[in-house]
Amino acid sequence: MITKTAIYKDRFGKLQSLIALFILCVVFALLSDKFFTIANGLNVMRQISVNICIAVGMTLIILTAGIDLSVGSVLALCGAITAGLLKNGIAIHPLNLFIGFTILGAILAGIIVGASLGFFNGIIITKFKVPPFVATLAMLTIARGFTMLYSNGFPISSFPKNFAFIGAGWLLGLPVPVWIAAVIVILAIIVTKKIRLGRYIFAIGGNESAARLSGININRVKIIVYSIAGALAAVGGIIVTARLDSAQPNAGTGYELDAIAAVVIGGTSLSGGRGSIWGTVLGAIIIGVLNNGLVLLDVSPFWQQVVKGSVILLAVIIDKMNSKNE
């Protein structure tokens, strides 16, 4: 009996988000004739794809009861590095050596840098016992600083033409970033539901002590999760760079907050152990639709922020009320 109610409640939670999304869409469609069009739908999807990349990594971290504030800066640094390598390669003057990068090489390098920064976060958090909030807050500043150093504070622009395909191209009727986000989402669902790592993530977030006594290597799992989040932030950075044909040194500022908002609206508990990738995708869509609709309605950007914040509050309050009834 209890199981059935529990499952029912879980579905009901997701259903609530879906209903909220539906109502949002209906309201916007009634108020603006530009909203409910295929072009605008694709536009929204492309806009949220970067947030989805980041928010998926954030979901994994929050499921372990952690947090990552550094993803926005990591996104900027990895975007800049991919851009710089693509454009200038690496020149080692004393040896008169020049290493050029192909598009694929530059992308891989960017992702490796992102994963390494996440790995570093993981080491600081597990080996030095620094709380995730503090460790990643420090990385937020450090990575931004390195971005400025690497780019001298200027945008790095104009790349080989094929590179733009990643951010602005189309494939089978959909924007390429949407395909990338979709692949990431599917992989993340497999990770959380079908393999050992995912189970360990839920167990650690649910009860770290019990997980440790079950013989799970807690530190390793956490380090892997932070590395994944770093790599996904890098993917986001590469998409943004390709889309704009330019790596902006201040790219990604505040993106961590959008990602956390998507995770929270999607019903993942900040105390860990409870939540889902699907919820996060739904959360990111709700934020995207809200942004898009408010812009179409010509609502002042200041009011947009007030509305977005209120939606986050509302979502968390509803979630709290649901879990209280359990």
For position 209 contacting another protein by CB under 8 A, the verdict is: yes
Could you tell me whether strands 97-99 and 174-175 are parallel, antiparallel, or unpaired per DSSP bridges? unpaired
For position 189 contacting another protein by CB under 8 A, the verdict is: no
For position 97 contacting another protein by CB under 8 A, the verdict is: no
Binding piece for another protein, criterion CB under 8 A, among 33-41, 120-128, 193-201, 230-238: 193-201
For position 1 contacting another protein by CB under 8 A, the verdict is: yes
CB of 210 to another protein, least distance (A): 5
SS3 assignment, position 175: strand
For position 194 contacting another protein by CB under 8 A, the verdict is: yes
Q: Of the candidates 15, 30, 134, 195, which one interacts with another protein according to CB under 8 A?
A: 195
Q: Of the candidates 14, 34, 87, 199, which one interacts with another protein according to CB under 8 A?
A: 199
How are the residues of the chain apportioned to helix, strand and coil, as percentages rounded to the nearest 5?
75, 5, 20
CA nearest neighbour of 264 among 185, 318, 226, 184 = 318
For position 202 contacting another protein by CB under 8 A, the verdict is: yes
Per-residue binder mask for another protein (CB under 8 A), 252-281, x = binder: ---------------------xx-------
Q: How far from 210 is each of 3, 67, 123, 159, 214, CA to CA, in Å?
A: 22, 21, 22, 51, 6
SS3 assignment, position 170: strand
- Tally Cβ neighbours within 10 Å of residue 300: 9
Please name the residues in contact with 306: beta carbons below 8 A apart, sequence gap of 6 or more: none
Which chain residues interact with another protein by CB under 8 A? 1-3, 6-7, 194-196, 199-200, 202-203, 206-207, 209-217, 273-274
